[in-house]
Structure 1
Amino acid sequence: MNLQKKSFHLPYLGCDLAEAQGLPYDTLVGPFGEPTVGLEIRNLPLQWCCNSNSYSSYHRVLLQICQILGEGYTIQKLDVFTKKTFNAAPRESAIEKKYDAHFSGRAYKELRTFLLFSPLLSATKRKGINLSEATASLTPLKEKFSKIYLLLDSVGAHPKYLRLKDYENYLALLFQGKETSTPVKENILSGPEFLQVGEMLLKTVSLVDLEELSIPVDVSPSASDGKNLGAAVDPFSFLFDLKESPLIVYNQILRIPLQSKLHRELERKKKRHEGVSSSAPSNLLVAREIESLLEEVAREGSLLVEGHFSVLYSAEDKLSQEKIQGSLETGFFRRGIVLSKNAYNQMELFRSFFPGGAVELKSYDFFLSPLEPMLCFLFKEHLPENESRGFALDFTSREGIPLRIDPSDIPMQTGRISNRNKFVLGPSGSGKSFLMNSLVEQYLRYNYDVVIVDTGDSYQGLTRYKEGRYIQYSEKDPITMNPFQLSKEELGIEKMEFLSSLIYLIWQGQEKEMSPSEKSVLDSLLLCYYELYFLKKEGIENYPVEKRTGLYQKYLPYASALSSKGSIRKNNIGGRSLHTGSSTSYYEVLGIESTLPIKEIRQHGKRLQGEMQQGGLVDTPEVLSEALTVLSNYTTKRAYDKTLVSSREKIAASLPHLKQKDPVTAEEKFQNLLFHLAPEALCFDSFYKFSEHFLPVFLNGGQLPISEASFNQSTFFLVLRDFCSGGKYGETLNRPQEKSLFEEQLIVFEIDAIKDNPKLFPIVTLIIMDTFIQKMRYRKGRRKALIIEEAWKAIASKLMGGYILYLYKTVRKFYGEAIVVTQELQDILSNPVVKDSILSNSDTLVLLDQSKFQENYQSVASLLNLNAVEQSKIFTMNRLDNKEGRERFKEFYLKRGDSGEVYGNEVSLMQYLLYTTEKPEKEALEFYYENAGSLNEGLERFLLDHKSLGLSLSEMVSLVNLLKRPLKSSDALNFQNIKKEYPTIDPWELLRKELAQ
C-alpha cells in the first residue's frame, strides 16, 4: 500500500512571551494571527461532593465568564485525564516505608483543567493573515482576561497563567498519547477511525451529530448517580472510570457569535422554512422551533452560542480501544447522548484539541443553543488533593491513592473548626479500631502525647511497637493515683470541681445529681481541708495579724469541739458511743423529726435500712441499726433526748465565753486544732480522717444547721471507707502514679477488667482523665490527645457533665484534643451529656459505615447536624466500584466544621498486623515474637515468610497456630501438597491427624 507522507506543522505563527509584553502570561499566535491566552484552573466541585448547589454555583461562574467575554470570542475548556503511577518520595521510618511500598506502582488518574480564550474568526478572516487586526484584538482580550482571572481567583478556582512551557508540555502529551518523562517525536498515521502515534492509538469522538442530533431535552449542571440516595455528580463523571486509557481529553468549545447578525440569519432561515411549509410540514416545525428559540433568548436575555464537544482518548492496542469506546458510548448513552458516527475526519478533530484549536473545525462540527443549557455540557469536577506538607495524616482517595489530610491545623487556621476535639461513631466491624490505630500511630510521628482509655485490647500491638506504656487494671496491680496531692498553685476552681465530683461519684454513684446543699458542703469541706494543710505546713505565725484573727474566728467552733486528746467529743449512754465519731443526731441519721412516734420511727428505720442494703451503698449499716435500737425504746430515747438538750445548752454557753477570752487562748486553741485536725499529708486517707472530725461540727455548728436529709453523713462515711487504706479499694486513691508516666509519649489504660463494676469503672475512668489533664499542663509545647473508647459511658452522667465540659474547653488551650469513640447508635440518641458536653464541643465528626442505620437515620442526622447533602456523602461509603486491585480497606466520613469528605483507610500488611484485634492473628504473631526475641524482628520475619511461602494470611495464621511455632518452607510445601492431593478433603483435618501421629 502506497502511503502519502506529509510534514506535520503546528497551527501557530509563534508565541509572544510574557517578558516582551510585560504580562504574566505568554500569548499563542494562531495561523491567522489570532491571539490565544490561557489559564490552568481547578474546577470548583469536589468529586463526590454530592451537592447539586456546588455544580449550580460553578455553572453560574462559567456563565459570568461568558458574559465578561461577550460576543465575538471563543472559549475552549480542556479537561485532561492522565493515567499515572504512584511513587512516593522517600521517607525515614519503617512503617512509612511499608505504607509507601504498599501503594507503589498503583495506577491512578490525574485531572488538569485549562481555559483558553481567543477572538472569534469569521470565514472571511480565515483567508489570510492580518497581524495589525490581530494586534488590535489583543487589547480588549487582555482586559477581559484580567477580569476573568480575578473572578476565578475570588471563587477559589486557583487560576494560574499559562506560559510557553505549559503549552509545549500539553502538546507533547497529546502527541505521545500518554504521560512520559522523555517525550519522543513519533510519526502519525492518520486513518478514518483513529490516529496511530508510535505504538499508541488516538481516537476522537464527537458528542453531537448534526444529521442525527441525539441529546437530552432537559439538561442540568449536575445529575444523579442513580444510587447512594441519588448523590449529585457531574453528568460526565464516568470519564474518571475509564482506567484503561492512558490519556483522555474532553474538549469543550463555545463560540459566541455577533448576536444581531445571528438573529438576522435565524429570522431569514425561519422565513425560508415558512415559505415552503406547504410542500413539507416539517419546514413549519423548523420555523416554529426557530421562533420559539428567538422568543426564549429575548425573554431570558440570554446569549446564543455555538458549541462543540468531543473526547480524545488513547489506547495501547485495538482491543483496549474497542473496550474504551464501548465504555464511552455506554456512559454518554446513560446521559441521553448518542455519540456521532461521523468521525472520519480524525486529523481535523485531533487538531481541534490544540490550544486555540476551534479554527480547525467546520460549521457542521457545532450546534446552536442558548448559553445556559450549553454550559451544562462543561465538565465541572476536580479530584481531591494533598492538603498540607506540614501536619498531615496518610489516608486515601476514593480511588485508592494516598492523600495527605490535615485534620486540624489548616481547618483551625481557616476557621473551618474552632477546636480539635473529635467524636467517632462506627458500628462493630466498620473498621473503627483500624482507623483509630492508624490515627494514633500517625499522631506519634509528630509532637504528640497520647493517652488512651480502652476496654478491648485494641491498641496492644501498636503500643508494643511504639514502646509505649500499656497499663492493665487488675486487683493485684490496680490503676491508682493520688488526686488530693496538689501544690498551692494547682489548687484552682477546676481542681476543686473535679475533687467534689469524684467524692460524690464514690458516695452516690454516677446516676444521681449533686444537690446545691451537697455541693456546698463538699466544697467547704475540701476548702478547709487544704487551707488547714497549708496553714500547718507554712506556719500560722507567718500570716499577718488580720489574717490570723479571721482564721481564729472561722475555725473557733471546731477548735472548741476538739477534746484535749484531739478528737471530737462524743455523747455516751450506758458506756456506748452514740455518734461513732460524729456529732450527727440519730434523728438525722434516720432523716426524721424528733417528734415522730416510736412506732413510726421503727417502721421508717427498717424501711430505710432495707433500701440502703438493696441499693448496695452500705456494707454494714451499724449506725442505722444503733439509731433504730436507741430511738425504738422509750427509756433509751428519753435519755438520748436529754443529752441532746444538754449538748445544745453547753455549745450555746461556750461560744460567747470563748469569744471574750484573750486572743492568746484562741491562738492556743487554733494551734491545737492544727496539730490534731490538719492533715500531715494529702491523700484520700487524710481527707477521710479530716472529714470524720470536721464534718459533724460543720453540719451542726452553724447558724443554719444542715439536716441529715440534706446531707446524709452516715452513708457518706460508710461508703467512702471502702477507699481508705485497708479497704476494698484502698490503693486506688492513695497510691500516687509513677512520675515517669508524665514523660511517656503513648499511654494506654486497659480497663476491660472493671467495665462491669458500676462503682469502680467511672472512678478509674475519671482519674485517668485527670491524669491526662495533669500531663497536659506538665508537657508544655507538645500536642496532646485523650482518646476515650467505650469507657466514656462510665462518665457520661449529669454529675460529670460539667467536668467533661471543662475538659473539652480546656484542652484547646494546651494544644490538645479529646476524642470519644463509640459504636452504639443508641448511646448518642439517649444520652444528654453526649449532646450537651461532647458533641457540642467536638467540631470534627468521624463516621464509619452507617448503612445499618439508614432506615432510621433522621434522629441521628438531626443530632449530628447532618443535612441531606452530608447524608448522601455518608451513604456512599464502601458502596463505590473501587475495590479492584486493592487490599482490604474501609472508608470513613470526616466532617470538619459544617461539611465533610469521605476517605479510605487502607494500610500495609505490617500496619494491619500491628492493628489487628483478631485473636488467632495475635496468637500467631506471638509465636514469631517469642522466637525472634523482639517484636520488630518477629514482625519482619512474619512478613518475609508471608511473601515467600505463597500462603494467604488466613492460611499462614492457621498453620502457625496449629504448629505453635514459626513456619518453615517445608511446612508450607506440605500444606500445598495436601491441598493438591486431596482437593475434596479439609486439609486442616488431615494436618491435625498427621500431627497427632
Structure 2
Amino acid sequence: MSQLLQSAATLEEKQPIYQVEQGCLISKNGDVTVAFRLELPEIYTLAQHDYEARHSAVVKAVRLLLNHTVLHKQDWFVEDKYTPSFEEERSLLSHAYERNFYERPFLHHSCYLFITKTASSRENWTSLSTLLSRPRIVPKEMMNEDLLSAFFNSVGQFVRVLSDAGIGFSQLTDEDLCGTEVKTGLLEKYLSLNLSDTAPMTDLDFTQGLKVGSKLCQCFSLGNLDDLPAALTTSARHGNLSTDYTNFFVGFTAPVGLSLNCNHIYNQYLFVDDPAKTLKSFEKKRDNLNALALYSRQNAINKEFYDRYLNEAHSEQKLPVRAHANVFAWTEREADVKELREQTGSAITQMGCKVRQNTVDIGALFWAGIPGNAGDFPSEETFYTFAEQACCLWSMETNYRDSSSPFGIKLSDRLTGKPVHVDISDEPRQKGIIANRNKFVLGGSGSGKSFFTNGMVRQYHEQGSHVLIVDTGNSYKGLCTLRKGVYFTYEEKQPISFNPFFVVGSPDVEKRLSLHNLLVMLWKRENEAVSQAEYVSISTALTHYYQHLAADSSIRASFNTFYEFLQGPFTAYLATEKVREQDFDMHNFLYVLKPYYRGGEYDYLLNSEKQLDLTRESFIVFEIDNIKDHPILFPVVTLVIMDTFLQKMRQLKGVRKMILIEEAWKAIATPAMAEYLKYLFKTVRKFQGEAVVVTQEVKDILDNPVVKDTIITQSDCMILLDLRKFMGRFNEIQEVLALSEKQKALVLSINQDRRPGVRYNEVYIGLGTTVATVYGVEVSAEEYVTYTTEEAEKKVLFDKIEVGMSIETAIQAYARELREAG
C-alpha cells in the first residue's frame, strides 16, 4: 500500500464516488455521471466510409453536449478461454466440435461510456487536485437543478444520434455499478482489474508504479500533441488483408484494441470546456507570442500554430476540446513485464504514435479512470485539439458476437478462432435484412466448400430441419449415414429405385398431380402435347387405382400393381364408359410403360421394396452423378426430387425445410426444370423453407441465365469461399453478384491472414445488401472424417463400417488415428 492509502479506512475516505442513485454516479466533487454499456460493430465488417460515417456521428453528438462535460470511453480487453457447452442431448459431431475448442483463448471485450458533468472550475485541475491529495469540496453550481436537467437532456440527444448511427446503448443500473450481495459491480471490478461477477477486492500499491493485487500494471499514454502522427484518420489499411485490387480497412485504434493480445484497458477522454473562453485564451497567447516573435524564431512558429488553429476554429466552426488516451496493460508474472511493455509499445507505434510510458503519474491516471471520476483527470495530461481529431482516437469496433436467435450454426471468430453462434436464416429475415432464406454458395475446388455445407446441413438437421440434397460427388454420404438418412444412388449391382406410388393414407391433390406428370413424362416425348381426353383418363386411372387399393389391403402400392390395374379393371372401365381409342390409346399407353413393369428393362426404377414415405424422411440425399446424362433415368429421378420437396413444402406445416442442390443444378437446369427452379426459389420462403445452390465454376454464374436470372436474384444470402484465383476477372463476378467495394474487399481477404498452426478455411457470408462478415470454418477430427470428399479417406471410414463397426464408432476410431498421427 502507498503512503496515501495506509489502510482500508483511508481507501474508503479517498475513493472518489460519493453515491450511486438512479443510475447516476455522484462524485465527492459533485460531478454527475451517466454510465452506458456500448455495443459496437464487429471488427472486420466496416469499410472506410463506415468508419467515417460513425466518426461524423460521434462529432455531431459531441457538439450537443453542454460545456464542462467529460466523455470517458473505457474499453476492457480481458484474456478469457472458451467454455464448451456439453449438453447431454448433443450429437457426436456437436460434442466433438465443442471439445475441439475447449479453452480456446480469446480477448473478451466490454465497452463503457461515462458522460460526466463537472463544474466550470475543474478544467484546469492538475494531478495535485485529485481527491487523493485534497479535501472534499462541492462546487455550488453542481447543486443547480436546471443545469442538471439540461445535462440529462443533452445526454439523451447524444445517445439518440449515436444510436441512429448503429451504436447500441444500454444504461447501467445501480446494481451494475455498485453490485449486489452476490454480484460485483463495475466500480469494484475496475479497482481489482477483474470483470468477473465475483471479483474480490484487492490491495492497491502505488509505491513502485502500480500494482493491483497481484497484477503488475504498465501505463502508456497519448497526452501530448507531439505523441501523435502528423495526421489522424478514422481507419487504417490492413496490409495482410488487402490485395493489389482492394484495400481492407480496420479502425485507426485497432492496434491497441483487439489486436493487442494481452489484458488491457484502453481509455479515451474528451473534455468539452467553454469553447469561447478557450479561443479567447488562445487569442491572448497568440498576441503575446506575436509581440515576442522578434526575440525568438520559436515564438514566431508557435504564433503561426495558434493562428492556424484559430482560423480553422472560426472558419469551419470546429469545436475546440481537450483529449487524452491511455493504455493500462497488466500481467501477473514479473517475467512477462518486459514483453508486455514491448508488445504495448509496438501497438502504439503501429498507429504512428510515439511511445510514452507513465510511471510517476500512473496513480493519478488510474484513479481518474474510476467510473464517474473523469472530472478528476489531470489537465497537464491533456492536449488541445478539435472534436474531429479527438474522436479519431475512439475505438469503434468489437469482437464477433453470438446471435440472440436460438436457431443457427457455429462458425469461428476470424481473429481468434473462438466459436460464434450465427443465424443466417431467421433473425436476418425478422430484422428485414433479407426477404428470403435462399442461399447461393460459390467456392473453388479445395476452398472448403463441402466442409461448410456439410456443417451447415448437419446443424440445420439437428435443429429439426428436413433436408433434401441433390449431389454429384458423394460429398454427403458420411453425414447421411450418420444422421440415419435415406441415400439414393445408382450402381450397376444396386441401381437406384423408388416407389412414388406409396403414400400413407390417401394421396392429396399435389401427389396426384406429381404422379400424373410422371406418367405423362414416361409416355410422351418432351415436345408432344397431351390432349384433354388423355389428361382426364390418366387422372381418372389414378383416382380409381387408390380406391382399388383402399378396397383391398392385400395389394401393395407400386408401379407394378398400377400397371396391372390398368390392364384389368381400368381397361374394363374404359370399355364401359365407351372411351374411344383415338381419345385415349390404352394399348399404346401400356406398351410405352411396359419397360418399367415387372420383367422390363427398368422394372427396378419405380418398384422399390422399401415402403418409404419420403415426405416424412428428414434427411434424403439423391446422388445423381452416374445418371445425369441418362435419357430415361435422369428425368424420372428429377421428377421424384421435385415431388418429394413439393410434398414437404405443402404438407409439413411448421417444419423447416431445406433443399440443397450441389453441382447437380447444371444437370437439373434443363428447359423443363428451369421453370421448377424459378417456382421453387420464389415460393419456398412461404413454406418456412430455403433453397441452396452450390457451385465451384465461376463461368457457371457468368454464362448461365438460370443462375443469373433466378438463383442469384432470388438468394438473399450469398456465401463465398476462396476466390483469389479468379482475382483477375473479379470485376465480372462482382457485377453478377452485385457486390459493393466493401464486400469485394471482404471476399478477396479470405484466407489472406490465417492464424498459424491451425487448420481451417474462411467463408464470406453476405446477408442482403447491408450485412457482410468473414468467418472461420474450423472442424474437429470427427467432423473432418465425416465430411471429407477425398476418396481415399472416405474409403478408410467405410471400410471400418464394413468390418462391423457402427458409423459412430468408425468416426471416433478414424478421428483418433488422425490425432495420433498429428
Give the alignment's TM-score, normalised by structure 2: 0.85
**Secondary structure of the structure 1 residue equivalent to 2:137:** coil
- Choose 1 or 2 for highest CA Rg: 1
Q: Of the candidates 567, 577, 597, which is equivalent to residue 671 of structure 1?
A: 577
Deviations 1:598-653 (A, max 9, x none): xxxxxxxxxxxxxxxxxxxxxxxxxxxxxxxxxxxxxxxxxxxxxxxxxxxxxxxx
Q: Of the candidates 266, 269, 289, which is equivalent to residue 285 of structure 2?
A: 269
Alignment of 1:477-626 (within 5 A): 477-481=494-498, 490=509, 502=521, 507=525, 521-522=529-530, 524=532, 527-530=535-538, 533=541
**Secondary structure of the structure 2 residue equivalent to 1:339:** coil
Given residue 130 of structure 1, which amino acid in structure 2 is its aligned partner? V
1:141 aligns with 151
2:588 aligns with 689
Unpaired runs of at least 5, structure 1: 19-24, 509-513, 540-565, 568-666, 680-685, 693-716, 954-997
Distance across 2 between alignment mates of 1:257 and 1:770: 72
Q: Of the candidates 343, 360, 372, which is equivalent to residue 344 of structure 1?
A: 360
Given residue 29 of structure 1, which amino acid in structure 2 is its aligned partner? I
Given residue 361 of structure 1, which amino acid in structure 2 is its aligned partner? F
Check 1:802–1:113 CA distance in 2 against 1; reply closer, same or farther (3 A cut): same
- In the alignment, is the contact (CA less than 8 A) between 2:500 and 2:606 conserved in 1? yes
1:219 aligns with 232
Superposed displacement of residue 343, structure 1: 4.4
Distance across 1 between alignment mates of 2:631 and 2:476: 24
1:411 aligns with 428
Distance across 2 between alignment mates of 1:807 and 1:526: 28
Distance across 1 between alignment mates of 2:716 and 2:215: 50
Distance across 1 between alignment mates of 2:725 and 2:574: 73
Please state if 1:28 is matched with 2:8: no
Distance across 1 between alignment mates of 2:786 and 2:202: 50
- In the alignment, is the contact (CA less than 8 A) between 1:49 and 1:232 conserved in 2? no
1:878 aligns with 751
Distance across 2 between alignment mates of 1:744 and 1:162: 50
Superposed displacement of residue 438, structure 1: 0.8
- In the alignment, is the contact (CA less than 8 A) between 1:208 and 1:339 conserved in 2? no
1:390 aligns with 406
1:644 aligns with none
Deviations 1:105-128 (A, max 9, x none): 111112111111112344479676
2:773 aligns with 901
Check 1:455–1:13 CA distance in 2 against 1; reply closer, same or farther (3 A cut): closer
Identical columns (%): 29
**Secondary structure of the structure 2 residue equivalent to 1:419:** coil
Alignment of 1:291-306 (within 5 A): 291-306=307-322
Deviations 1:312-364 (A, max 9, x none): 11123344332232233223223221122554311112112112333333332
- In the alignment, is the contact (CA less than 8 A) between 1:120 and 1:256 conserved in 2? no
Please state if 1:12 is matched with 2:16: yes
Given residue 396 of structure 2, which amino acid in structure 1 is its aligned partner? K
Please state if 1:195 is matched with 2:210: yes
Check 1:151–1:672 CA distance in 2 against 1; reply closer, same or farther (3 A cut): same
- In the alignment, is the contact (CA less than 8 A) between 1:889 and 1:906 conserved in 2? yes
1:635 aligns with none
Q: Of the candidates 900, 906, 913, which is equivalent to residue 785 of structure 2?
A: 913
1:856 aligns with 729
Distance across 2 between alignment mates of 1:500 and 1:53: 59
Distance across 2 between alignment mates of 1:748 and 1:853: 31
Distance across 2 between alignment mates of 1:874 and 1:476: 45
Check 1:2–1:776 CA distance in 2 against 1; reply closer, same or farther (3 A cut): closer
Check 1:538–1:673 CA distance in 2 against 1; reply closer, same or farther (3 A cut): farther
Check 1:723–1:425 CA distance in 2 against 1; reply closer, same or farther (3 A cut): farther
Please state if 1:111 is matched with 2:119: no
Superposed displacement of residue 675, structure 1: 8.8
Check 1:738–1:678 CA distance in 2 against 1; reply closer, same or farther (3 A cut): farther
Please state if 1:806 is matched with 2:668: no
Distance across 1 between alignment mates of 2:86 and 2:274: 56
Distance across 1 between alignment mates of 2:288 and 2:631: 91
Alignment of 1:659-808 (within 5 A): 671-673=577-579, 689-690=588-589, 728-729=601-602, 731-732=604-605, 738-757=611-630, 760-761=633-634, 763-808=636-681
- In the alignment, is the contact (CA less than 8 A) between 2:512 and 2:539 conserved in 1? no
Please state if 1:130 is matched with 2:138: yes
1:574 aligns with none
- In the alignment, is the contact (CA less than 8 A) between 1:175 and 1:185 conserved in 2? yes
Give the alignment's TM-score, normalised by structure 1: 0.71
Unpaired runs of at least 5, structure 2: 130-135, 179-184, 548-569
Q: Of the candidates 21, 39, 60, which is equivalent to residue 42 of structure 1?
A: 39
Superposed displacement of residue 59, structure 1: 1.3
Check 1:233–1:350 CA distance in 2 against 1; reply closer, same or farther (3 A cut): same
Alignment of 1:59-138 (within 5 A): 59-91=55-87, 92-95=89-92, 96-123=94-121, 129-130=137-138, 132-136=140-144, 137-138=147-148
Alignment of 1:403-482 (within 5 A): 403-475=420-492, 477-481=494-498
Given residue 52 of structure 2, which amino acid in structure 1 is its aligned partner? S
Deviations 1:850-903 (A, max 9, x none): 11111211111111111110011112222235345x4x2211111121132111
Deviations 1:491-514 (A, max 9, x none): 69985996699569x846xxxxx6
- In the alignment, is the contact (CA less than 8 A) between 1:83 and 1:178 conserved in 2? no
Given residue 215 of structure 1, which amino acid in structure 2 is its aligned partner? L
1:620 aligns with none
Deviations 1:162-206 (A, max 9, x none): 2344334334333334444643333333256x4122322111111
Distance across 2 between alignment mates of 1:538 and 1:103: 55
For this pair of structures, how many residues does the alignment match? 767
Superposed displacement of residue 264, structure 1: 1.2
Superposed displacement of residue 290, structure 1: 1.0
Distance across 2 between alignment mates of 1:536 and 1:471: 30
Check 1:730–1:806 CA distance in 2 against 1; reply closer, same or farther (3 A cut): farther
Check 1:270–1:759 CA distance in 2 against 1; reply closer, same or farther (3 A cut): farther
**Secondary structure of the structure 2 residue equivalent to 1:183:** coil
2:563 aligns with none
Superposed displacement of residue 239, structure 1: 2.9
Please provide the CA RMSD for this pair. Answer: 3.5
Superposed displacement of residue 525, structure 1: 7.1
Distance across 2 between alignment mates of 1:930 and 1:670: 57
Check 1:760–1:238 CA distance in 2 against 1; reply closer, same or farther (3 A cut): farther
**Secondary structure of the structure 1 residue equivalent to 2:577:** helix
Distance across 2 between alignment mates of 1:724 and 1:472: 21
- In the alignment, is the contact (CA less than 8 A) between 1:277 and 1:284 conserved in 2? yes
- In the alignment, is the contact (CA less than 8 A) between 2:785 and 2:815 conserved in 1? no
Superposed displacement of residue 742, structure 1: 2.7
Distance across 1 between alignment mates of 2:606 and 2:458: 31
- In the alignment, is the contact (CA less than 8 A) between 1:11 and 1:30 conserved in 2? no
Superposed displacement of residue 822, structure 1: 1.2
Deviations 1:202-243 (A, max 9, x none): 111112335xx0422322222211242221210111234556
- In the alignment, is the contact (CA less than 8 A) between 1:186 and 1:198 conserved in 2? yes
**Secondary structure of the structure 1 residue equivalent to 2:614:** helix
Q: Of the candidates 274, 287, 290, which is equivalent to residue 306 of structure 2?
A: 290
**Secondary structure of the structure 1 residue equivalent to 2:113:** strand
2:338 aligns with 322
Q: Of the candidates 742, 756, 765, which is equivalent to residue 869 of structure 1?
A: 742
Deviations 1:51-77 (A, max 9, x none): 122212221221232122132211111
- In the alignment, is the contact (CA less than 8 A) between 2:256 and 2:327 conserved in 1? no
Superposed displacement of residue 534, structure 1: 7.1
Deviations 1:417-457 (A, max 9, x none): 12211111111111111111111111111221111111222
2:761 aligns with 890
